[in-house]
């Protein structure tokens, strides 16, 4: 099995396409299981944010895996494969691992080096683990990505600007309003993680904050964290009339703020829409005195580098080196693990040969205990010395490209049974999942 990733992001697709591909929590869970049920797929992980939808899977065949995941992404987004495919990218094996590490470090984010993606990757791993779709390889790769991302932010200054999608959006909104946040009447629509970050940021900037949400208790709870006002979503038209700035990120399937609502305010207003699908209807931006800043606007700013903080080149280079180091160590360990069952099987075969010869010798020659013990030690010493060089060398070569060919050569030269090698590999996999104190369920006793 090899790791495959198929996805689309702000780098490969316009916001309109990302908007159609976005997954609700329920849809994400369904996609996880649908991918796992596809032919030749062993496990799955989905990383879904406002900037990307990526499906990671352990697959037995590249082309079959790509075809299955593309079909499922199209089905879940409601897009035709002809419309979706031009926006997709595909990475396989080493490149797939490298991509996830880069994503976790913020190297692939709209705001380069932002740290929110690390938490989003962690959350994606938890969902896959809770749903039982996260296999051993993807779990190990996910842990590696989290460790690499943590190193990137602790060992370099990649995130020293503190920039993220919200901060960049607020900077753009302040520029459009031509007023500082302090003293502005700001309406935050939504009560999720992005809204929570917005409320905290706005409160620190001494803005007057009101939180509105479809579930009133959620709005009340979030507002209470900064002593802000709260309201129900049904009060939105009146709330808009009092707002200088609106920050909206609800996750609702349709538009929350319409042109009629905004038109009724009769005053200039800035709307920062960080939702995907978009909360603010497209025709709102056509109203006089109204400025709408959404993900498409921020993506354009990223392309032009206008208003988007950029980390120092030295920090970016340092993070790339960390990614390269972690990836190299991971690949070397993976390749070494692949040849380990062959080495174990080879030594097991040598032990069998030695034991067979000792039994044959015992039947032909009457030896005293001391002589027999000395012969046993000598024969085992000879076997160990003969196997030492090839086994050490194949482990060294396992960390380099072409490790499979060295492994195969060892099996052929020593006439090792592939079934025996495979049984060792399965036993190793079982042992890797076992932890001290876990019940032994190998036999029937104690099982239900």
Token pair belonging to 31: 């996609």
Residue 288, pLDDT above cutoff 90: yes
Q: Where are the beta strands (DSSP E) in 333-389?
A: none
Q: Which part of the chain has CATH 3.30.460.30? A: 2-155
Q: What share of the chain is helix, strand, coil (3-state, %, to 5)?
A: 60, 15, 30
**pTM, rounded to two decimals:** 0.71
How far apart, in Å, are the Cα atoms of 245 and each of 225, 267, 386? 20, 11, 77
Integer Cα distance of 401 and 386 in angstroms = 26
The helix/strand/coil state of 106 is coil
Integer Cα distance of 425 and 428 in angstroms = 5
What is the model's pLDDT at position 406?
Answer: 62
Sheet containing strand 52-59, edge to edge, reads: 41-48, 52-59, 2-9, 89-92
Residues 6+ apart with CB under 8 A from 43: 36, 57, 58, 128, 133, 134, 135, 136, 137, 138
Instruction: Give the rounded distance of the alpha carbon of 143 from its chain centre.
Output: 9
Give the range among 5-9, 173-177, 410-414 with minimum mean pLDDT: 410-414
Q: Are 46 and 3 in contact (CB under 8 A)?
A: no
Does residue 50 have an active-site annotation?
yes
Q: Are 432 and 438 in contact (CB under 8 A)?
A: no
What angle in degrees, to the nearest 10, is found between the helix axes of 136-155 and 116-130?
A: 160
Integer Cα distance of 301 and 234 in angstroms = 33
Token pair belonging to 152: 């990137």
What is the model's pLDDT at position 445?
Answer: 31
φ, ψ of residue 148 to 5 degrees: the values are -65, -45
Question: Looking at 36, 50, 105, 249, which residue is catalytic?
Answer: 50
Token pair belonging to 214: 């479809």
What is the model's pLDDT at position 438?
Answer: 38
Q: Which part of the chain has CATH 3.40.50.720? A: 165-304
Residue 304, pLDDT above cutoff 50: no
Residue 410, pLDDT above cutoff 60: yes
Token pair belonging to 409: 């050569």
Integer Cα distance of 292 and 176 in angstroms = 9
Residue 63 CB burial class (10 angstroms; 0-12, 13-18, ≥19)? exposed
The answer for 124, left when phi > 0, alpha when psi is -120 to 50, beta otherwise, is: alpha
Q: Are strands 52-59 and 2-9 parallel, antiparallel or unpaired?
A: antiparallel
Q: Are strands 185-189 and 245-248 parallel, antiparallel or unpaired?
A: parallel
Give the range among 49-63, 92-106, 144-158, 301-315 with minimum mean pLDDT: 301-315
When pLDDT is averaged across residues 99-122 and rounded to a whole number, the result is 91
Pick 138 or 164 by higher pLDDT: 138
Nearest C-alpha neighbor of 384 from the set 337, 422, 413, 346: 346
Pick 338 or 267 by higher pLDDT: 267
What is the model's pLDDT at position 433?
Answer: 41
Choosing among 3.40.50.300, 3.30.870.10, 3.30.460.30, 1.25.40.10, the CATH entry for 2-155 is 3.30.460.30
Token pair belonging to 179: 């007023």
Nearest C-alpha neighbor of 250 from the set 18, 14, 26, 24: 24
Nearest C-alpha neighbor of 116 from the set 263, 305, 277, 249: 249
> In the CATH scheme, what is the code of domain 165-304?
3.40.50.720
pLDDT, tens digit, for every residue of 9-38? Answer: 999 999 888 888 888 889 999 999 999 999
**Per-range mean pLDDT, top range of 131-140, 161-170, 302-311:** 131-140
pLDDT, tens digit, for every residue of 207-236? Answer: 999 999 999 999 999 999 999 999 999 999
pLDDT band at 302 (very low <50, low <70, confident <90, very high): low
Nearest C-alpha neighbor of 112 from the set 11, 222, 32: 11
pLDDT, tens digit, for every residue of 358-402? Answer: 888 887 888 788 888 888 888 888 888 877 777 777 666 665 665
- Round the average pLDDT of the chain to a whole number and report it: 84
- Cis preceding-peptide flag for 277 (omega within 30 of 0): yes
Integer Cα distance of 117 and 109 in angstroms = 8
């Amino acid at each position: 099995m090899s790791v495959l990733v198929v996805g689309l992001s702000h780098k490969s697709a316009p916001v309109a396409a990302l908007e159609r591909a976005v997954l609700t929590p329920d849809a994400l869970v369904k996609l996880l299981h649908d991918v796992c049920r596809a032919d030749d797929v062993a496990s799955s992980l989905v990383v879904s944010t406002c900037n990307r939808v990526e499906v990671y899977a352990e697959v037995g065949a590249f082309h079959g895996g790509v075809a299955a995941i593309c079909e499922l992404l199209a089905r879940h987004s409601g897009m035709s494969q002809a419309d979706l495919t031009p926006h997709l990218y595909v990475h396989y094996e080493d490149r797939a691992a490298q991509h996830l590490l880069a994503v976790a470090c913020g190297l692939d984010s709209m705001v380069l080096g932002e740290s929110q993606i690390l938490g989003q990757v962690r959350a994606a791993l938890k969902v896959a683990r809770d749903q039982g779709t996260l296999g051993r390889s993807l779990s190990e790769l996910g842990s590696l990505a989290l460790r690499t991302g943590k190193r990137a932010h602790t060992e370099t200054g990649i995130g020293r600007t503190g920039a993220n999608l919200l901060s960049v959006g607020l900077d753009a909104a302040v520029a459009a309003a031509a007023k500082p946040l302090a003293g502005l009447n700001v309406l935050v629509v939504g009560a999720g993680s992005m809204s929570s970050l917005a409320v905290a940021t706005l409160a620190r900037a001494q803005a007057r904050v009101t939180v509105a949400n479809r579930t009133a208790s959620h709005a009340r709870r979030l507002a209470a964290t900064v002593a802000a006002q709260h309201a129900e979503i049904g009060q939105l038209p009146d709330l808009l009339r009092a707002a200088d700035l609106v920050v909206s990120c609800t996750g609702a399937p349709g538009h929350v703020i319409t042109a009629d609502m905004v038109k009724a305010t009769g005053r200039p207003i800035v709307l920062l829409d960080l939702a995907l699908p978009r909360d603010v209807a497209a025709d709102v931006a056509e109203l006089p005195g109204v400025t709408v800043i959404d993900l498409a606007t921020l993506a354009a700013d990223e392309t032009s580098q206008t208003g988007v903080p950029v980390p120092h080149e030295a920090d970016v280079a340092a993070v790339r080196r960390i990614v390269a180091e972690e990836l190299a160590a991971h690949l070397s360990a993976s390749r070494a693990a692949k040849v380990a069952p062959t080495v174990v099987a080879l030594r097991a075969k040598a032990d069998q040969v030695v034991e067979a010869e000792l039994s044959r010798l015992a039947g032909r020659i009457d030896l005293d205990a001391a002589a027999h013990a000395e012969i046993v030690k000598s024969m085992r010493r000879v076997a160990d010395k003969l196997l030492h060089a090839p086994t050490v060398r194949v482990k060294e070569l396992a960390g380099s490209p072409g490790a499979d060919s060295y492994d195969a050569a060892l099996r052929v030269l020593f006439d090792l049974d592939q079934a025996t090698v495979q049984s060792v590999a399965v036993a190793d996999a079982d042992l890797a999942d076992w932890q001290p104190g876990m019940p032994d369920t190998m036999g029937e006793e104690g099982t239900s």
